Amino acid sequence: MELLPLSLLAGVLTVLSPCVLPLLPVILAGSAAESGRRSAYLIIASLAVSVMAFTLLIRGASALLGVPTDVWLIVSGSLVLFIGVTLAFPALWERISTVTGLNRATGEMVDSSAQRTGTARSVLLGLSLGPIFTSCSPTYGLILAAVLPTSFAVGFANLLAYTVGLSAVMLLIALGGQSVTRRMKWAVDPNGAFRRGLGGVLIVVGLLIATGVVKDVEAWLVERGILGAVVLEQGILDQVDTGVDAPEPTRLDGSAATEPPAFLAQRFTTIDWQSADPAIFAAISGGPPPDGIPAIDDPSFVPLAQVTSGDDVQAIVLQDGTGVRVYPYNILVWHEIVNDTVDGVPVAVTFCPLCGSAIVFERTLPNGTATTFGVSGGLIDSNMIMFDRATEGLWQQSTGRALAGEFVATELALHPFQLLTLGEVRESHPNARVLSADTGFARDYERNPYGDYDESDQFIFAPSTLDDRYPAKLIMVAFVVGEKRVAVPWLALREEGSLEAEVGGTTVSLQVSDGELDVRDDEGRSVPFYFEMWFSWAVQNEATGVVLDPAPR
């Protein structure tokens, strides 16, 4: 059976339990004090809105956890008290209005002012009760504990059903209170003693709420076994198969996730997750599903002369025989991976916009198979998780390491490339061929879907750690010497032109000319490199990596 009707019933039954204790007198007195049914509807509608909002704010999320319970009691209690005062001492209220100049400022007619005051009072009274409403209904608990964390929509629907049930009964009580009042002729006079008495009731209840005494009374009732409908409701919950299981405990220690996130598990069904690198369990969905960001498998190229993109557009540049192939960022940002064959070598040209990582891999698997790569849609610390189509394994882009699938823990080989602007390419490689904007996908390559992300201090997905040695999004050039992973601030290196340093007993020399970088080890061998934003490199290598700064501050 669905949980929904049960939620509705639970809302209705809540009225019989001690937790609604503060609500009942406020609603009864508040609606009896106003004339007309409209005010009863207003009070209950505001109550419903307030209960929903504060349930989601305080019990459904941890954002307001730092606010002590007493604060909510005082806020609610003060509001109820304030409304009580306006009812009990109408003359005083008039004077406050006049003194504060609100009467003149608003220039309202007396009649409409009175009516508006009634409306505002009803709404305020309903709203005041949300922050302190804590249901003792086990169904409500089940919704918060088991349903809301797995599906916000279903959880919201059940909360709504619960609130509707609760409000319906409350409305009956409010209307009942009003009809009793109407029968008592002497009670109708808006300035009469009865109305002022109701104000007095609200003052007392407000004080009881603000001082927390009302919770003590509830506790006293509960201790004496007056649990209201809770036992009945629990019985129903036990009898009926609601289709909602008690959720697994939430792990709080680092070993947190031991399962892949659902969006990956559903798509990559052949992966043996037991053997996977636990890092993959921390992956989150970046939004688009697997292949939702389409890799380009069949790239076509046009002569540089035909390309109109501006000189400042950055591009990955690969040597292809005697010429070069250019993959501009304005196209890569929409596809992230281009599976190509350059100089007879199958390569994957990859770019992760959220961590500025530009890396060219050889797309030959350890077993010799040439595969193609796609975008899984998963992110670890903003970094793209790629999947290979031959074995359906998952690979992290920034490290080139397999996190799940047949080749776990192996790494893809890096392929040499340069990071240049189109302006620089136009200078030094006028005959270059450029990845065509005619990709077969309808994308606006003049627009960057990430806006000013590169320059902004903001993240879309906050990284797990931030190393403040450099600005988070500063572009680093990164490479591996022996066992050491090395990063160098790229713009500083470009300005300096060259750098020589010892890393783990090896002397590396870096030379930049015309924007093109050459990295050599002490035996003169070329070292392949890639580029990545500082925060992203630091997340992986903060502890063991080496940073070389050509112009230390």
Partner 1 sequence: MKLFVIGLIVAVAAAVVAIVVIPRGDDLATTATSESELTGFSDRYQPYSEQALAEASADETVVLFFSAVWCSTCTALRDDIAANQQSIPEGVLVLLVDFDDSTELKQQYGVVYQHTLVQVDRTGLGIARWQLSRSLDELLATIVEV
The residue among 142 and 280 lying less far from partner 1, judged by its C-beta, is 142
SS (H, E, C) 270-309: CCCHHHCCHHHHHCEECCCCCCCCCCECCCCEEEHHHCCC
> Between residues 127 and 360, which has the closer beta carbon with respect to partner 1?
127
Of the candidates 474, 534, 526, 531, which has an alpha carbon nearest to the alpha carbon of residue 350? 531
Report in angstroms how near the CB of residue 533 gets to partner 1 at its nearest: 30
Are 48 and 164 in contact by the 8 Å Cβ rule? The answer is yes
Of residues 90 and 423, the one with the C-beta less far from partner 1: 90
CB of 47 within 8 A of CB of 167?
A: yes
Closest CA to 485 of 535, 538, 533, 522: 538
Minimum gap (Å) between residue 171 Cβ and partner 1: 21
Residue 153 vs 252, nearer CB to partner 1 = 252
Amino acid residing at 154:
V
Nearer to partner 1, 124 or 386 (CB): 124
Task: Give the list of residues 6+ apart from residue 495 with CB closer than 8 angstroms, or none.
Answer: 550, 551
H-type alpha helices, 129-192: 138-142, 152-183
Longest C-alpha distance within the chain, in Å?
105
CB of 466 to partner 1, least distance (A): 22
Report in angstroms how near the CB of residue 212 gets to partner 1 at its nearest: 8
For 390, what's the count of Cα atoms within 13 Å in the CB-facing half-sphere?
13
- Provide the β-strand partners of residue 407: none
Shortest Cβ 250–partner 1 spacing (Å): 5
CB of 282 to partner 1, least distance (A): 17
d(CA 421, CA 541): 28
Q: How far is the CB of 70 from partner 1 (least distance, A)?
A: 5
Q: Name the residue nearer to partner 1 (CB basis): 134 or 428.
A: 134
Residues at the interface with partner 1 (CB under 8 A): 17-19, 58-62, 65-71, 74-75, 77-79, 82-83, 86, 96-97, 100, 102-103, 106, 116-117, 120-121, 123-124, 128, 134, 136, 138, 141-142, 144-146, 210, 215-216, 218-219, 222-223, 227-228, 230, 234, 246-253
Residue nearer to partner 1 on the CB measure, 119 or 436:
119
**Contact between 519 and 510 (Cβ < 8 Å):** yes
